[in-house]
Each structure stands twice: as structure tokens, then as C-alpha cells.
């Protein structure tokens, strides 16, 4: 982690995690508090990023919004990672029909542009945080599975695995004791980019009104509500947009740095 | 290796061709004398017999005149009818105006009238008005310009139904389902083209039997995005916008020096509906407490910037049947709290965070509606009523409301001009999902009154009946009337004779002159 | 050889298309709620409701519906819009052109911006310009297009007043939507061009060419660039599909009457056949473009075994 950009990435992510964890203590106001007299007000000492249409504090809403974005990102990436690792290892290790079926499924999933797939599923569900997590996980595991499958294929014929098999190691143990540690690097890199991707798609869905419920203070929702008043109060949409860009940038920086550190060959 | 360069050049050439084509096809000259009106959503259909959406009704009725039309006092007046007589309460004989021609030159005959209404009644086309026309016993052509319609039973608001336009039988039969994509009528404007979600183009009907429109061409530019619509108006790409600028943004639009504004009361009324089957909301005191706890003035001044008027009936004050003596639920949190105490919902912790009672408030996912719902919820929380706002996609919301799967919801009625709607909204036989009595209201006296109102032909007597209905309903509060939204038109100052009607119909466009 | 490869490749896309269609079909049937309610309204009679359900095949077993759906897909009968009863394919045909033009222009802009940036960054690897370019490239990937769009409108249409914000009136109205849609692709392609160029510059033939005394310009453009662009072309092909999907947001922001907006409108109207049609047509276009790019790539580069 030598590069400046990956350091910036780490700092951004650290700040956002702190904001998410300690939102009630950090946020200067309650995110749902109305101040009708402050409608569309610009920056002030009391409200550093100004107020929205109903006078709610934009900074506080953004701080609470980190919970939504990071939370959804973390859950989706974790689910995808677990499912992806299991499926990928199983497919790669056993080969044969299982592997063929997996390859077909992953081809089909890749035939949908990621965002379109999310819109397609979201179109038929009620907006809710849980639904967004499900939607993004349905496709999220595929990239992990492909990665893990490839790595498994590459590693499985190496001596230590063959030896382990010969000595009668049980499969799960073999997987997690020997296969898994050898692919942690690429998986972590993929997870970091995955966070960036998930947060981006979540906020896009919310922007379209298909993501988290509009009553939740999330960045995508704030941007959607803000663009309506673009002509009279651009700050309503600019700040949440910056928040999204920052967090996505942070995870991309981190991913780049991790890749340089852990898997230099991929460069 | 060289081929990759060839591919790139190929792609570049391809793009160049596309761009050339686009430029060419887009460079159509704009009509000079056209009146350009921006609207916020596409009409669903321009077949007057099918249209049930606001823009579909408003635009299709510029193309197709009916036997009657609604005038600027929301009364029904003859259009294609010269005169009519009513031998008894159930029978109407209509004499058509002579010499009226359809846009394609064919003369209007009684057969066309018979066909138009029969096609709805007999389900030749899938019209939502079919159920209404079930009241019709028989439609009979007496002569080329005389039609007789017999009803199964007397029905005072029947003529309102005949504002649905007349279509030429021959064309409509030939075109079937495609009639909607190039409708023909007798109205002040002729249909030119309709590109869904993009544009509707009409031209003046020079042979119109009434006053020929002052501007020869009428363009409806369908612009869904508020910002885009506003900017187009501000930049002069659009001449007029009616009711399609959010009130909070109106002052910004009016900063443009050559734009003018007119406003007037409208007939769209927002209301808060209660499920009277719900154990909490079946208590009248709770409903009254809610009515007193909503600070409608602050919502109107903040969210509507004054472009709404507090409502106490679902009939607009301009309506002939509106009861001027109705009381008003003024904002009174103290009274609200005491009503809640009386209903048995005591405050558990004074000013603390605990609520006296809690329920769910459903709304459609229209952004404006959600914002307002959240403000109402905020106000209710101040008197200890914990309300959780749940926005739903329109289909789900609407079906929940119909099924009675709700505690409280907000919706609005619009284009309501006939007091007979109290039958639909309040009669106990009209419970949703069959009818629109969505709140499951039942009151024997109201039932009797609305039944009477429907078969009473004398207007003054009807007025008294509906005054009584409005009074009872306002006291029992199956729903809280919130506010009437005002009509607002913003237009360029080179337009003359811009007017507003309470129902915000587009008939006003025919009078506009462009300098 | 080439022809048989292309045919084989196209055929291999069929099962994927079938699977995509199946997913879309069952998505639509998994939803709660009764579409008939919405169409005929509250005053409808039971007879009308049944008739409509019949017309939409909603009264048949799901498996029969599925059979009819697939049959319809193959024969070009994609059903009728619930909303206005026009054929789904007619709606899509009306809109596809707009989406296609927008996607192509976005791609064009992305390529035109990214390749020069990528080359400069590679040639001056490690310099300030390289770092600046790559920083902005990452920024470009990170900025959501639903933020970029409104900001561009604010700057160029409202403040400066030099570009129209939407509409189909002229070529200039394509500029802002294309930039919004193409920005992320441009950022991605400049990163890719750079890394691909760096690989090529290190290769033996470039070193030989330099040793032979060829000018730096000719080494870079005539030799290294041609090879470096091959992976870039592949990615461009792959991304046309992603651009088609990305138009959903861009079209919403700029009021652009394409398939993306049709999809969003249909979603809010619960017009299932049309939602189905839009998703299918974008997915099909995506699969098709990928297949074609793949073929083009193999045809263009004789080194790749067919």
C-alpha cells in the first residue's frame, strides 16, 4: 500500500465507517427534523451543508445515509462472497457437469448488464432495504464464483493440494485450510471493487425510486429528491452526489492499491 | 493487424452517417403559428370513448365533441345537440345541430351518435364507461338527426355522461383498435399526430360549427421532468404550462421577465381516507382528533406556496351543489389531544417520545405526495399520534386501498363536477372494491339522501339534499377533505386571452391568440 | 471458416437468450397483485375482467403461458401493452432508434476522448500528466451518472446557457446526454488503453523498431497502437450493451424518449408485457453486440484461432 491513492482510499473509507457507526453522535441534527423557515437555506454555521426543501439538515441526512450505503454494500458483498466461494470452489474442484452447469448459469447472468438486471428485478418488488440486498446479491455472487473457480482450477493440481488429498483430508477442511488461503488476495481485491459497484447500483436504483424506500435518508433518494429543485437549490443534489462519488472512489482506490500489493501479475 | 484500424474507421464512418441522419431528421422546421403547451405525461389514449386519464380526457375532447360539454361554471351545456326534450324522467330525445361535419368531411348523423354510445355500452371497445352506460335501456335513431335514449331508471346526472365525444361510425368500425392512433371527431381541433411520450400535434378545424380556434396549430410537448419543463418554458421553447409546475419552483420560473401567471380555484381535492373497519380509526373522536391536529395552513403556505385552499367538502366551492355553511376543522392541537383522551388514548409520557396510538399511513410513491404525507405524519406525532408513512408503487397502493388493506391513506378526487358522486363515495352499497366507497362508510340517512338526489330532477331540491349530505359527512369524517389545489397557468406574454377553468380543461386553449 | 465460426458463435448465444427470456418471464409472474385491476378500473364488471384476463392469458396455467410466451417471442408477437393496447414491438421500434443513437454517440465520445488520453499517459508513464489522467479516470468511474447529468445541465444549460438540456430538436441536444452516458466508459477505456499500450511498448518488436531507427511517432502509432487497441475494441464492444442499459438513467434525466424511459414508464404503470419487452430487447441487444464484437475481433485478428 505504497501509493498515495490507496492511502486516500483508506482514509475516505475509515471516515465513512466512523460516520456510519457513530451517526447519532456525530450528526448535528436529527435527519427527520423539519425547519420550514429554513427551506432551501444554503450553508450556515448551524447547518454546514444547508437545508433541504422542508428545512431538514443535509449534513445530518448524509451522515445517516452512510449507514444505508455501507450497510447494504457490506451485506451484499458478504453474501456474494460466501456463496461465490462455495459455488466457485465446488465447480472448480469437481469439474464435470457441475462445472458446466455453473458456467452456463454465469454466462446467463453475464448476459444481463448488471444494472439492467437490478432494475428488472426491482421493478417487481416493493422498495425496501432487504429487497435491495436480495436483488444485488442475486447477481453479485457470480463474479466471486468465477474468480474462485478460476483460482481453484489453477491451484488444485499443485503439489500441496494433491498431497493433502492423498493424506485423506476431508473436503471442507481442504477447501478452507488449503485452497482458500491461496486466493484471499484476489478475493479481497474483488470485494473492494464489489463494494464500489454495489454502492453505485444501490444509489442508482434508489435514484430511480426502485431501491430503498424514499422515506429512508439514503444518498440515492436524496439525490432524486434534490434534482427536482436543481434550478433553485443545487446544493440539495450536489452534496449527496459527492458523498456517493467519494465512497465509490475510496473503494476503487483501495481496490487498486490492494491489487498492486496482492496480485501484481494482474496489472 | 491493420484490420483493427479498419474496424475503427468503420465504426467512425458509421457514427458519422448516423449523426448525419439524426441531424437531417431533426431539422424539421418548427411551426410558426403553433401554440406550444407542455404537459407532464402522455395521454393514455386519444379515443374519447376510452380516455379516463386527465390528459387523455382533456386532449381527446378537443378533437371529439360530445352531445354536451362542461362549461366554465362546471355545468353541462349542449354541444352537438341543438335542443333536447325529456318526455319523462327516463327518456331523452336529442335533436342534433344541422350541418355539422366530421374532420374527414363526412356529415354527423344520428347513426354516429347511436354507434358511439352503443360501442361503449355493448363493449365493442373496452371502455371504463361501460358500467355507466348500463343504465341505458335503449338507444334509438328516430331520424337522421334525432336520437332517443331511454334509461332503465331516472338518473339525474345522465347528461354529464354524454360529454363523451361522438366518433364517425364508418371510420371507427374500419379502424377498430387503431382508431385511437388517429382519431376523427367534430371538435375544434383536428388530429395530426401523436408520438406517445413525446408529442401530440393538432390543427384548427376551420369548418368547426362553433368558434374556430384562434391559433391554427396546437402542440402538446410531453415533458416528464419538472426541470426540463420549466427550463423550456423559461427559454421560450414552450408557450404555456397549466398546472404542471411544482408550486415551490413557481417563483423561479416567474423570474423570467416575459412570463405571466394566472391562478384560480380548482376542482381537485386532496383527502385523507380512513378505514372505518379498523379498530382505531373506527372511533369518530380519533378521526376528529386527526382533523384538528393537521396544520393545513402551514402545509399550504410551505408546500403549495399558497396555491391551495383549505377544503371542507369534496365538492369544490365553485360547484352549484357546494354547501356554503359547512364548518371548518381549524388547527387545534389542544382539542385534538383532548379528543384522544376522550377516545381512551391517553398520553403515556407527556412530551416524551412514546405515542398514544400508532398506525400506518399509505400513500402512492409520487414524490410530492410522500413529502406532504411526511409533513402530516410529523404534525400528528406532535399530538401523540404515531404514524408510519409507507409509500407504495401506484398499482399496489391503489389495489390495497380498494381491497381495504389500509388504515389511513391519502388520495385526491379530480374533475368531480356532479354531486351524484356522493352516491359512489358514501353509499353503503358502493363499498370498494365494487364501488369507490373506499372507507367503508355506512350511514342510513346518507344512503337515503343520495338515493333521493339521484332521482330528483329539480336542481334546488337536489341542492338541499346534497347540503345535508355534506354536513353529515363532514361531521362523521369517513375522510378528511384537506385542500383544493388551485389551477395555475404560466404563459409567455405574447399570448392573449389566456383563461383558466375550474376543471383546468383545455377548451381555454381555443381562445388564445398568439401575437 | 469465418462464416461457420460466426454461425456457430451466434448459435451458441441461443441458449443464453432462452435462459434470459425464461428469467424475465418468471420475474413477471412472481409479483403480487392483479394486473387486471389496474387496467379496467374500479367500475369494471366481472365479465370484462375475465375477458381481459383471458386476453392476457392470465387465466391459463403458468406453463401454458410460458409456452405461448416463447412461441410469441420467436414469431415476433411480443404481446400488447396493457396501457394502450398497442403491440409491444411497435412501442419498442418507436423508441429503439433514440436509445441506439444515444448509446452510439456516447461510445463515440468515449472513444474519442479516452484513446488519446490513454496513449499520452502510457508514453509519459509516471509523469504528472499520467498521474493526473489516471486520477481523473478513477474519478470518472466513481461519479454516478445521475449526478453528472444534473450538474452538466446546471453548468451548461442553466448557468452558461450554451447547450439545450434535452429534446430531440437538434444534434447539440445529444451532447449532454452522450457525455453523461459515456463518461464512465471514457474513464475505463483510458485506463485500459494506457495499460495495454504500456504492455506493447515493452515488447520486442517495438524495441526492434526503435533500434532500426524509426521515428518515435511511427513506432507508437504504426506499431504499438495497432496491437494495443485490440483489447480496447473488445471492451468497447462489450460496453455497448452496458451503455444500452445505462441509458435508463440518462434518458430519465434528459427526457430522452428511448427504450430506457419506456422501461421506467412501464414499470410505474405496471405494464408488464412492455416491461418484459424492454428488458428483453436490451438484453438481446447486449448478447448480440457481444457476439458480433467477438466475431469481429476474431476476423480482425488473424492470430486468433477460429
CA-nearest residue to B46 within chain C is C84
Backbone φ and ψ of A162, nearest 5°? -55, -40
Supply the pTM of this predicted model: 0.85
Q: Cα(A41)–Cα(A236) distance, rounded to whole angstroms? A: 10
Read off the pLDDT band of B11 (50, 70, 90). low
Contact at CB, B227 and A32, closer than 8 angstroms: no
Among candidates A143, A145, A29, which has minimal Cα distance to A84?
A145
Among candidates B305, B302, B313, which has minimal Cα distance to B379?
B302
Our measurement of the distance from residue B29's CA atom to the centroid of its chain's CA atoms, rounded to an integer in Å, reads 34
Among candidates A6, A229, A243, B462, which has minimal Cα distance to C135?
A6
Minimum distance, in Å, between the CA of residue C196 and any CA atom of chain B = 14
Delineate the domains of chain C, giving CATH numbers in brackets: 2-88 (no CATH), 89-272 (1.10.3720.10)
Contact at CB, B231 and A34, closer than 8 angstroms: no
Read off the pLDDT band of C241 (50, 70, 90). confident
Q: Cα(A16)–Cα(B361) distance, rounded to whole angstroms? A: 33
Nearest to C249 among A204, A241, A242 (CB): A204
> Is B263 within 8 Å of B488 (Cβ atoms)?
yes
Name residues whose C-beta falls within 8 Å of residue C294's C-beta, 6 or more positions apart in sequence.
C9, C234, C237
pLDDT at B409 exceeding the cut of 60: yes
Contact at CB, B130 and C262, closer than 8 angstroms: no
Among candidates A153, B15, B114, which has minimal Cα distance to C102?
B15
For residue B239, what pLDDT is reported?
95
Structure confidence by residue, pLDDT tens digits, C2-21: 778 778 878 888 888 888 88
> Is C122 within 8 Å of C201 (Cβ atoms)?
yes
Mean pLDDT of B113-118: 96
- Output the CA torsion sign for B7, B9, B13, B15: positive
Does residue B392 sit at the A interface (CB-CB below 8 Å)? yes
- Output the CA torsion sign for C233, C235, C240, C243: negative
Query: How many cross-chain Cβ pairs, A to B, lie less than 8 Å apart?
Result: 53
Contact at CB, A108 and C20, closer than 8 angstroms: yes
Nearest to B4 among C171, C230, C268 (CB): C230
Quote the ipTM score.
0.84
Report whether CATH 3.40.50.1820 matches the domain B2-43+187-264+487-514.
no
Identify all chain A residues contacting B252, using CB atoms and an 8 Å cutoff. 231-232
Q: Cα(A149)–Cα(A146) distance, rounded to whole angstroms? A: 5
- H or E element that contains B367: helix B367-382
B245: its cell numbers: 409546475
CA-nearest residue to C85 within chain B is B177
Does residue A242 sit at the B interface (CB-CB below 8 Å)? no
Contact at CB, C24 and A120, closer than 8 angstroms: yes
Contact at CB, C227 and B180, closer than 8 angstroms: no
Minimum distance, in Å, between the CA of residue B227 and any CA atom of chain A = 7
Cis upstream peptide for B433 (omega within 30°) = yes
Q: Mean pLDDT, chain B, as a whole number?
A: 89
3-state secondary structure of B475: helix
Choose the weakest-confidence range: A226-235, A255-264, B21-30: B21-30
What is the gyration radius of the CA atoms in chain B, in angstroms? 26
Q: Cα(A110)–Cα(B327) distance, rounded to whole angstroms? A: 63
Identify all chain C residues contacting A249, using CB atoms and an 8 Å cutoff. 138-139, 142
DSSP 8-state code for residue B51:
-
pLDDT at C43 exceeding the cut of 50: no
For residue C60, what pLDDT is reported?
78
A186: its cell numbers: 484476489
Contact at CB, C33 and B224, closer than 8 angstroms: no
Q: Cα(C246)–Cα(A204) distance, rounded to whole angstroms? A: 10
Higher pLDDT, A181 or B467: B467
DSSP 8-state code for residue B44:
S
pLDDT at C225 exceeding the cut of 90: no
Contact at CB, B198 and C83, closer than 8 angstroms: no
User: Best mutation site among A61, A205, A209, A216 for testing chain B: the one with the most B CBs within 10 Å?
Assistant: A209
Buried b (16+ CB within 10 A) or exposed e, A242-258: bbbbbbbbbbbbbbbbb
Q: Cα(A252)–Cα(A247) distance, rounded to whole angstroms? A: 9
CA-nearest residue to C115 within chain B is B8
Q: Cα(B294)–Cα(B387) distance, rounded to whole angstroms? A: 13
Contact at CB, A54 and B249, closer than 8 angstroms: no
Domain boundaries, chain A: 4-28+49-266
CA-nearest residue to B234 within chain C is C158
Which chains border A (3 or more CB–CB pairs < 8 Å)? B, C
Among candidates C96, C241, C105, C112, which has minimal Cα distance to B23?
C105
For residue B389, what pLDDT is reported?
92
> Is A146 within 8 Å of A106 (Cβ atoms)?
yes
Choose the weakest-confidence range: A61-65, B233-237, C5-9, C177-181: C5-9
User: Best mutation site among B9, B23, B26, B124 for testing chain C: the one with the most C CBs within 10 Å?
Assistant: B26
Transcribe B150-216 into DSSP letters: EESS--TTHHHHTTSBP--HHHHHHHGGGGGGS---SSSEEEEEEETTTEEEEEE-TT-SSPPPSSS
CATH placement of domain B269-485: 3.10.105.10
Identify all chain B residues contacting A39, using CB atoms and an 8 Å cutoff. 248, 302
Structure confidence by residue, pLDDT tens digits, A11-41: 999 999 999 999 999 999 989 888 989 899 9
> Inter-axis angle of helices A114-122 and C225-254, to 10 degrees?
20
For residue C212, what pLDDT is reported?
80
Q: Cα(C116)–Cα(C112) distance, rounded to whole angstroms? A: 7
Q: Considering only CB atoms, which residues of chain A are within 8 Å of chain C?
A: 5, 104, 107-108, 111-116, 119-121, 123-125, 196, 200, 203-204, 207-208, 210, 220, 223-224, 227, 230-231, 234, 237-238, 240-242, 244-246, 248-249, 252-253, 256, 267
Nearest to B378 among A34, A213, A224 (CB): A34
Contact at CB, A231 and B230, closer than 8 angstroms: yes
- Where along chain B do the CATH 3.90.76.10 domains lie? 65-177
User: Best mutation site among A227, A237, A250 for testing chain C: the one with the most C CBs within 10 Å?
Assistant: A227
C180: its cell numbers: 453523461
CATH placement of domain B65-177: 3.90.76.10
Read off the pLDDT band of A136 (50, 70, 90). very high
At the fourth CATH level, the homologous superfamily of domain A4-28+49-266 is MetI-like (1.10.3720.10)
Residues, chain C: 306
pLDDT at C49 exceeding the cut of 70: no
Distances (CA, A) of B2 to A190, B328, C178, C191, C198: 35, 82, 29, 23, 20
Per-residue HEC secondary structure of chain C comes to CHHHHHHHHHHHHHHHHHHHHHHHHHHHHCCCCCHHHHHHCCCCCHHHHHHHHHHCCCCCCHHHHHHHHHHHHHHCCCCECCCCCCEHHHHHHHHHHHHHHHHHHHHHHHHHHHHHHHHHHHHCCCCHHHHHHHHHHHHHHHCCHHHHHHHHHHHHHHHCCCCCCCCCCCHHHHHHHHHHHHHHHHHHHHHHHHHHHHHHHCCHHHHHHHHCCCCHHHHHHHHHHHHHHHHHHHHHHHHHHHHHHHHHHHHHHHCCCCHHHHHHHHHHHCCHHHHHHHHHHHHHHHHHHHHHHHHHHHHHCCCCCC
Among candidates A107, B292, B50, B209, which has minimal Cα distance to C283?
A107
For residue A267, what pLDDT is reported?
38
Does residue B141 sit at the A interface (CB-CB below 8 Å)? no
Minimum distance, in Å, between the CA of residue B15 and any CA atom of chain C = 7
> Is A144 within 8 Å of A91 (Cβ atoms)?
no
Nearest to C138 among A116, A231, A249 (CB): A249
Does residue B389 sit at the A interface (CB-CB below 8 Å)? yes
Contact at CB, C254 and B22, closer than 8 angstroms: no
Q: For residue B29, how many C-alpha atoms fall within 13 Å in the half-sphere facing its CB?
A: 3
B101: its cell numbers: 361535419
Name residues whose C-beta falls within 8 Å of residue C288's C-beta, 6 or more positions apart in sequence.
C13
Torsion of Cα atoms, A232 then A237 then A239 then A242, to 10°: -140
Q: Tell me how crowded residue A32 is: count the other CB atoms within 10 A of its CB.
A: 17
Which chains border B (3 or more CB–CB pairs < 8 Å)? A, C
User: Best mutation site among C257, C297, C298, C304 for testing chain B: the one with the most B CBs within 10 Å?
Assistant: C257
> Is B80 within 8 Å of B108 (Cβ atoms)?
yes
> Is B246 within 8 Å of B226 (Cβ atoms)?
yes
Name residues whose C-beta falls within 8 Å of residue C247's C-beta, 6 or more positions apart in sequence.
C99, C102, C103, C181, C256, C258, C259, C260
Choose the weakest-confidence range: A168-182, B490-504, C72-86: A168-182
- The three-point CA angle B197-B199-B203 to 5° equals 150
What is the gyration radius of the CA atoms in chain A, in angstroms? 22
Any bridge partners for residue B139, and if so which? B149
Backbone φ and ψ of B130, nearest 5°? -55, -45
Higher pLDDT, C75 or C290: C75
Structure confidence by residue, pLDDT tens digits, C60-119: 788 888 888 889 888 888 888 877 778 899 999 989 988 988 988 999 899 999 999 998
For residue B28, what pLDDT is reported?
43
Per-residue HEC secondary structure of chain A comes to CCCHHHHHHHHHHHHHHHHHHCHHHHCCCCCCCCCHHHCCCCCCCCCCCCECCCCCEHHHHHHHHHHHHHHHHHHHHHHHHHHHHHHHHHHHHHCHHHHHHHHHHHHHHHHCCHHHHHHHHHCCCCCCHHHHHHHHHHHHHHHHHHHHHHHHHHHHCCHHHHHHHHCCCCHHHHHHHHHHHHHHHHHHHHHHHHHHHHHHHHHHHHHCCCCCCCCCCCHHHHHHHHHCCCCCCCHHHHHHHHHHHHHHHHHHHHHHHHHHHHCHHHC
For residue B116, what pLDDT is reported?
96
Which chains border C (3 or more CB–CB pairs < 8 Å)? A, B
How far the first Cα of chain B sits from its last, in Å, is: 64
3-state secondary structure of B91: strand
3-state secondary structure of B432: coil
Amino acid at each position: 500500500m505504497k501509493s498515495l491513492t490507496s492511502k486516500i482510499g483508506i482514509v475516505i473509507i475509515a471516515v465513512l465507517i466512523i460516520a456510519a457507526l457513530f451517526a447519532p453522535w456525530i450528526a448535528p441534527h436529527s435527519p427527520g427534523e423539519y425547519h420550514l423557515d429554513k427551506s432551501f437555506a444554503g450553508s450556515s454555521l448551524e447547518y454546514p451543508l444547508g437545508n433541504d426543501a422542508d428545512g431538514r439538515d443535509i449534513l445530518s441526512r448524509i451522515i445517516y445515509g452512510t449507514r444505508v450505503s455501507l450497510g447494504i454494500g457490506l451485506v451484499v458483498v458478504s453474501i456474494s462472497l460466501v456463496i461465490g466461494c462455495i459455488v466457485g470452489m465446488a465447480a472448480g474442484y469437481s469439474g464435470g457437469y457441475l462445472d458446466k452447469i455453473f458456467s452456463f448459469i454465469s454466462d446467463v447472468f453475464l448476459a444481463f448488464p448488471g444494472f439492467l438486471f437490478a432494475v428488472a428485478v426491482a421493478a417487481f418488488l416493493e422498495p425496501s432495504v432487504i429487497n435491495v440486498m436480495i436483488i444485488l446479491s442475486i447477481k453479485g455472487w457470480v463474479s466471486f464464483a468465477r474468480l474462485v473457480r478460476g483460482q481453484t482450477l489453477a491451484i488444485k493440481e499443485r503439489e500441496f493440494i494433491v498431497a493433502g488429498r492423498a493424506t485423506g483430508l476431508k473436503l471442507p477442511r481442504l477447501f478452507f485450510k488449503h485452497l482458500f488461503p491461496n486466493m484471499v488476495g484476489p478475493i479481497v481485491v474483488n470485494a473492494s471493487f464489489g463494494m464500489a459497484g454495489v454502492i453505485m447500483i444501490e444509489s442508482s436504483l434508489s435514484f430511480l425510486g426502485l431501491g430503498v424506500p424514499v422515506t429512508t435518508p439514503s444518498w440515492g433518494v436524496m439525490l432524486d429528491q434534490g434534482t427536482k429543485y436543481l434550478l433553485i437549490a443545487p446544493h440539495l443534489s450536489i452534496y449527496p452526489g459527492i458523498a456517493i462519488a467519494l465512497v465509490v472512489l475510496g473503494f476503487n482506490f483501495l481496490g487498486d492499491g490492494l491489487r498492486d500489493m496482492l496480485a501484481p501479475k494482474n496489472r | 493487424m491493420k484490420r483493427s484500424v479498419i474496424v475503427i474507421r468503420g465504426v467512425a464512418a458509421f457514427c458519422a452517417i448516423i449523426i448525419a441522419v439524426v441531424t437531417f431528421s431533426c431539422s424539421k422546421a418548427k411551426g410558426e403559428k403553433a401554440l406550444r403547451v407542455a404537459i407532464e405525461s402522455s395521454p393514455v389514449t386519444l379515443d374519447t370513448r376510452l380516455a379516463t386519464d386527465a390528459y387523455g380526457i382533456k386532449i381527446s375532447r378537443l378533437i371529439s365533441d360530445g352531445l354536451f360539454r362542461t362549461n366554465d361554471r362546471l355545468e353541462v351545456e349542449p354541444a352537438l345537440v341543438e335542443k333536447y326534450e325529456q318526455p319523462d324522467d327516463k327518456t331523452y330525445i336529442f335533436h342534433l345541430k344541422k350541418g355539422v361535419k366530421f374532420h374527414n368531411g363526412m356529415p354527423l348523423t344520428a347513426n354516429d351518435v347511436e354507434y358511439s354510445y352503443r360501442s361503449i355500452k355493448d363493449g365493442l371497445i373496452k371502455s371504463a364507461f361501460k358500467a355507466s352506460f348500463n343504465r341505458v335501456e335503449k338507444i334509438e335513431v328516430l331520424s337522421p338527426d334525432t336520437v332517443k335514449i331511454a334509461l332503465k331508471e331516472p338518473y339525474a346526472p345522465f347528461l354529464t355522461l354524454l360529454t363523451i365525444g361522438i366518433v364517425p361510425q364508418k371510420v371507427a368500425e374500419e379502424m377498430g383498435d387503431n382508431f385511437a392512433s388517429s382519431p376523427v371527431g367534430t371538435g375544434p381541433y383536428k388530429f395530426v399526430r401523436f408520438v406517445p411520450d413525446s408529442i401530440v400535434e393538432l390543427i384548427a378545424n376551420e369548418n368547426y360549427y362553433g368558434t374556430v380556434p384562434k391559433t391554427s396549430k396546437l402542440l402538446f410537448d410531453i415533458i416528464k421532468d419538472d426541470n426540463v419543463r420549466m427550463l423550456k418554458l423559461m427559454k421560450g421553447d414552450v408557450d404555456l404550462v397549466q398546472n404542471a409546475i411544482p408550486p415551490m419552483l413557481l417563483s423561479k420560473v416567474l423570474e423570467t421577465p416575459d412570463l405571466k401567471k394566472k391562478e384560480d380555484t380548482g376542482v381537485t381535492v386532496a383527502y385523507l381516507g380512513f378505514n372505518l373497519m379498523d379498530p382505531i380509526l373506527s372511533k369518530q373522536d380519533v378521526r376528529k382528533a386527526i382533523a384538528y391536529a393537521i396544520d393545513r395552513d402551514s402545509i399550504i403556505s410551505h408546500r403549495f406556496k399558497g396555491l391551495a385552499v383549505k377544503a371542507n367538502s369534496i365538492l369544490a366551492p365553485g360547484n352549484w351543489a357546494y354547501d356554503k355553511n359547512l364548518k371548518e376543522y381549524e388547527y387545534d392541537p389542544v382539542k385534538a389531544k383532548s379528543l384522544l383522551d376522550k377516545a381512551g388514548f391517553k398520553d403515556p409520557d407527556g412530551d416524551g417520545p412514546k405515542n398514544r396510538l400508532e398506525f400506518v399511513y399509505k400513500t402512492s410513491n409520487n414524490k410530492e405526495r410522500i413529502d406532504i404525507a411526511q409533513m402530516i405524519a410529523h404534525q400528528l406525532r406532535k399530538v401523540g399520534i404515531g404514524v408510519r408513512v409507507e409509500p407504495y408503487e401506484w398499482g399496489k397502493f391503489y389495489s390495497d386501498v380498494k381491497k381495504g388493506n389500509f388504515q389511513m391513506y391519502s388520495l385526491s378526487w379530480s374533475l368531480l363536477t356532479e354531486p351524484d358522486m356522493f352516491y359512489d363515495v358514501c353509499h353503503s352499497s358502493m363499498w370498494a372494491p365494487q364501488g369507490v366507497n373506499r372507507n367503508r362508510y355506512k350511514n342510513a340517512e346518507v344512503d337515503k339522501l343520495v338515493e333521493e338526489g339521484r332521482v330528483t330532477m329539480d336542481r334546488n331540491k337536489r341542492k338541499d339534499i346534497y347540503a345535508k349530505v355534506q354536513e353529515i359527512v363532514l361531521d362523521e369524517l369517513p375522510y378528511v377533505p384537506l385542500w383544493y389545489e388551485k389551477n395555475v397557468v404560466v404563459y409567455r406574454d405574447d399570448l392573449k386571452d389566456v383563461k383558466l377553468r375550474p376543471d383546468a380543461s383545455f377548451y381555454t386553449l381555443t381562445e388564445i391568440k398568439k401575437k | 471458416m469465418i462464416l461457420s465460426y460466426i454461425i456457430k458463435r451466434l448459435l451458441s448465444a441461443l441458449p443464453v437468450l432462452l435462459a434470459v427470456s425464461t428469467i424475465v418471464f418468471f420475474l413477471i409472474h412472481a409479483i403480487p397483485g392483479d394486473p387486471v385491476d389496474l387496467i379496467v378500473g374500479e367500475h369494471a364488471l366481472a365479465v370484462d375482467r375475465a375477458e381481459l384476463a383471458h386476453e392476457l392469458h392470465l387465466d391459463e396455467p403458468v406453463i401454458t403461458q410460458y409456452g405461448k410466451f416463447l412461441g410469441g417471442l420467436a414469431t415476433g408477437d411480443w404481446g400488447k401493452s396493457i396501457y394502450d393496447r398497442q403491440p409491444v414491438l411497435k412501442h419498442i421500434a418507436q423508441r429503439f432508434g433514440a436509445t441506439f443513437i444515444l448509446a452510439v454517440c456516447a461510445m463515440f465520445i468515449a472513444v474519442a476522448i479516452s484513446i488519446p488520453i490513454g496513449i499520452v499517459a502510457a508514453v509519459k508513464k509516471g509523469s504528472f500528466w499520467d498521474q493526473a489522467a489516471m486520477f481523473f479516470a478513477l474519478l470518472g468511474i466513481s461519479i454516478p451518472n445521475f449526478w453528472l447529468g444534473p450538474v452538466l445541465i446546471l453548468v451548461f444549460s442553466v448557468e452558461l446557457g450554451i447547450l439545450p438540456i434535452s429534446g430531440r430538436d437538434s444534434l447539440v441536444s445529444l451532447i449532454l446526454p452522450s457525455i453523461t452516458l459515456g463518461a464512465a466508459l471514457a474513464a475505463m477505456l483510458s485506463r485500459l488503453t494506457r495499460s495495454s499500450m504500456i504492455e506493447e511498448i515493452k515488447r520486442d518488436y517495438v524495441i526492434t523498431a526503435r533500434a532500426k531507427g524509426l521515428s518515435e511517432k511511427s513506432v507508437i502509432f504504426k506499431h504499438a497502437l495497432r496491437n494495443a487497441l485490440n483489447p480496447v475494441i473488445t471492451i468497447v464492444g462489450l460496453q455497448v450493451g452496458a451503455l444500452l442499459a445505462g441509458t435508463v438513467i440518462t434518458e430519465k434525466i434528459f427526457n430522452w424518449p428511448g427504450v430506457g424511459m419506456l422501461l421506467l414508464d412501464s414499470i410505474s404503470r405496471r405494464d408488464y408485457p412492455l416491461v418484459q419487452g424492454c428488458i428483453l430487447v436490451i438484453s438481446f441487444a447486449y448478447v448480440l453486440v457481444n457476439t458480433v464484437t467477438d466475431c469481429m475481433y476474431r476476423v480482425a485478428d488473424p492470430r486468433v484461432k477460429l
